[in-house]
Amino acid sequence: MKRLKMLTMRGVLLSFVLTCVLAMTAFAETATLTIADCVKCHTKPPADIAANGGKHKTSVTCQDCHTGHRPAVKNNVPQCSMCHSGKSHYSLANCMRCHNNPHTPKIIKLANNITDECLTCHTQQITKLKQVPSKHSKLACSFCHNVHGKIPQCTQCHKPHSADMTAVDCKRCHQAHMPTAVTYPSDTANKMCAACHKKAFDLLSHSDAKHKDVACVTCHKDKHKTVPQCQGCHGVPHPAAMMSRFTKCGECHNIAHNLNHWDAAKQGEKAAPAAQPKKGQKKK
Ligand code: HEC
Ligand code: HEC
Ligand code: HEC
Ligand code: HEC
Ligand code: HEC
Ligand code: HEC
Ligand code: HEC
Ligand code: HEC
Ligand code: HEC
Ligand code: HEC
Ligand code: HEC
Ligand code: HEC
């Protein structure tokens, strides 16, 4: 009984106090501002947020960031660090250099000299740029990626090696972040190499030996400037006794791009080398 009375008394007291507070705040206009009021005097921030607010639209309200208002509160502009901390990206200086409008946080403007800041999120590319130093290693990331997430075409800055090469071909041989380490897959057409090796291309195309049907990249496998050994493909084609007298296959066969052709029916005896051995025949 006693207890119940006391609670009722407390309730009455409480509602009285509340009524007073409400009356006072109604009087001091600014303290009653609601989010719906902001747009009456400020048009751009609400419009920006509505259009491109991202999570600043969905995860926070105007008043989570702007607590209080003039004249009662002199500075209601928040620091980003109020809500963003704990990642290296959040300790960069001057956030609004890139996120230049807090009401459109995902619209990012990048100056053309930015590298270190990118590394707060991307690490693989700098590793490659350092591992294989090239002229690209001296460029800032945002010199090429001037809009965040945008991938430039090589041909924006470079001419293809030949007229029948297009921008999609570049990646076949080059990687953007280590462009001088040239490698290529096994289905690379001979004409890609011909752009710079016309002589080799012409010689091989006009030869009538079977190497004509072997692709450049079958012999010069995977990595630019790889030169194959004949034995890598042909093993030991002749008796050791014969080979001991010759240091190079080329002494009889000429070069890989233009093998001597000994088809007797076509070429006649004179094309054959003097030292032509008989298979299996032993000689001292
Ligand atoms: C009755 C009109 C009015 C309403 C409603 C209003 N403001 Fe303002 N606000 C002003 C005026 C006036 C200024 C001062 C502009 C100046 O000094 O240049 C201002 C300034 C600001 C500033 C800048 C503060 C600074 O230090 O530069 C922010 C932020 C702001 N208001 C946010 C809000 C938010 C958020 C709301 C809604 C909760 C809101 N305002 C509602 C009139 C209003
Ligand atoms: C994530 C935090 C955040 C949210 C949410 C936010 N603002 Fe701001 N607002 C800022 C910051 C930071 C600035 C200071 C910008 C500057 O220094 O250029 C600012 C500046 C302002 C200004 C003064 C400069 C100007 O652009 O006119 C007004 C007015 C303003 N905000 C109103 C609003 C209103 C209204 C809303 C809700 C529709 C809102 N803001 C939501 C962070 C926020
Ligand atoms: C009142 C708290 C608050 C303040 C102040 C604030 N933010 Fe945020 N911001 C958030 C929240 C909450 C999210 C959503 C976080 C999440 O999902 O992890 C967010 C998200 C973001 C995003 C990602 C937006 C998206 O749509 O994915 C960016 C960028 C961002 N903030 C930048 C800033 C910058 C720059 C400032 C200072 C100008 C700032 N924020 C100030 C609370 C805040
Ligand atoms: C050099 C430019 C640059 C600066 C300076 C910068 N940012 Fe960013 N920020 C970015 C880029 C680029 C993204 C990636 C956006 C995306 O994912 O689309 C980003 C993403 C974000 C995100 C969303 C992704 C996440 O990691 O949560 C938040 C939040 C954010 N920045 C906050 C900040 C804050 C806070 C500061 C200042 C301490 C800051 N940024 C300074 C460029 C910058
Ligand atoms: C706050 C973290 C953050 C910062 C800072 C940041 N990025 Fe990103 N970046 C991302 C995220 C997240 C993605 C999208 C996810 C993905 O594809 O990896 C992305 C995507 C990219 C892409 C496209 C990737 C693709 O596969 O299509 C490029 C290019 C890129 N960023 C370059 C940069 C450059 C250059 C900078 C510095 C100017 C930078 N980023 C700064 C987080 C960041
Ligand atoms: C010379 C121009 C150039 C420079 C400098 C450059 N990039 Fe790239 N980047 C590219 C190109 C082109 C691609 C597309 C590669 C592809 O599609 O194979 C790319 C791809 C990317 C990607 C997508 C994922 C990947 O690795 O393919 C990210 C992320 C990226 N770059 C970040 C960076 C960062 C961070 C830096 C600075 C440390 C940087 N880039 C420097 C031209 C450049
Ligand atoms: C935004 C411009 C830009 C883009 C995009 C770009 N490059 Fe470059 N690249 C350069 C510049 C600048 C140099 C240095 C030129 C010089 O100093 O002569 C360079 C140099 C090179 C070099 C010579 C490197 C050396 O150290 O000798 C190669 C190879 C190269 N680029 C290939 C590529 C390839 C392949 C792509 C696409 C994956 C590409 N580049 C995309 C600007 C660019
Ligand atoms: C078949 C392989 C291959 C393809 C495809 C290819 N490149 Fe190259 N590129 C090379 C080789 C090999 C070199 C190195 C030559 C050297 O060592 O001097 C080179 C060198 C370069 C250089 C350095 C300067 C020069 O001309 O020597 C640039 C720039 C370049 N390539 C851009 C491109 C671009 C852009 C594309 C796409 C249109 C492309 N490359 C396609 C193999 C290729
Ligand atoms: C952009 C021009 C370019 C392209 C494309 C190119 N190369 Fe080269 N290549 C060169 C240059 C330059 C050299 C060095 C020549 C020298 O040192 O005299 C070279 C050298 C070579 C060598 C000789 C290595 C040595 O040690 O003697 C071989 C083999 C070779 N390239 C094969 C190829 C093959 C196979 C392709 C096609 C997948 C190709 N190249 C595409 C420019 C190119
Ligand atoms: C990448 C493997 C490869 C390399 C390296 C290679 N060859 Fe061949 N060679 C072949 C193939 C494949 C044939 C065709 C075999 C067939 O059709 O029977 C061939 C055929 C030949 C023939 C028979 C030609 C004909 O027209 O009948 C001779 C001779 C020959 N190679 C010599 C050489 C010599 C010498 C070298 C080193 C300068 C060499 N090869 C390097 C793969 C290779
Ligand atoms: C059957 C294997 C084979 C094929 C196919 C082949 N090469 Fe070669 N290439 C060699 C060998 C082996 C050498 C070393 C010189 C020699 O012994 O003939 C060489 C040397 C070279 C050289 C350096 C010396 C020179 O002659 O300039 C270049 C460049 C070259 N090749 C480019 C090419 C190109 C481009 C193609 C395709 C059009 C090609 N090669 C096809 C095996 C081959
Ligand atoms: C003394 C000269 C001579 C030397 C050195 C020589 N060859 Fe031959 N090679 C020949 C002759 C001649 C033939 C044709 C024999 C025949 O038709 O039976 C031949 C045939 C071949 C054939 C074709 C076999 C076939 O069955 O079609 C290959 C492959 C070959 N040689 C590879 C090599 C290689 C690899 C070397 C270096 C290790 C080499 N030769 C060194 C003279 C030589």
Pocket test for ligand 5, best of 121, 129, 139, 143 (most atoms within 8 A of CB): 121
pTM of the model: 0.90
Q: At 210, give phi and psi (nearest 5°).
A: -65, -20
If you measure from the C-alpha of residue 260 to the centroid of ligand 11, how many angstroms do you get, rounded to a whole number?
15
Percent of the chain with pLDDT over 70: 81
- The pLDDT score that the predictor gives to residue 272 is 43
Mean pLDDT confidence for 256-264: 81
Chain centroid, CA 144 distance in Å = 10
So what's the pLDDT on residue 2? 44
Mean pLDDT of the chain: 86
Q: Is 256 exposed, middle or buried (0-12, 13-18, 19+ CB in 10 A)?
A: buried
What pLDDT is attached to residue 268? 44
Region 36-57: what's the mean pLDDT? 97
Pocket test of ligand 10: the residue of 217, 227, 234 to mutate, having most ligand atoms within 8 Å of its CB, is: 234
Confidence bin at 32 (pLDDT 50/70/90): confident
Ligand 2, atom 29, lies closest to the CA of 42
Please give the average per-residue pLDDT across 207-225, as a whole number: 97
Distance of CA 158 to the CA centre of its chain: 18
The pLDDT of residue 7: 43
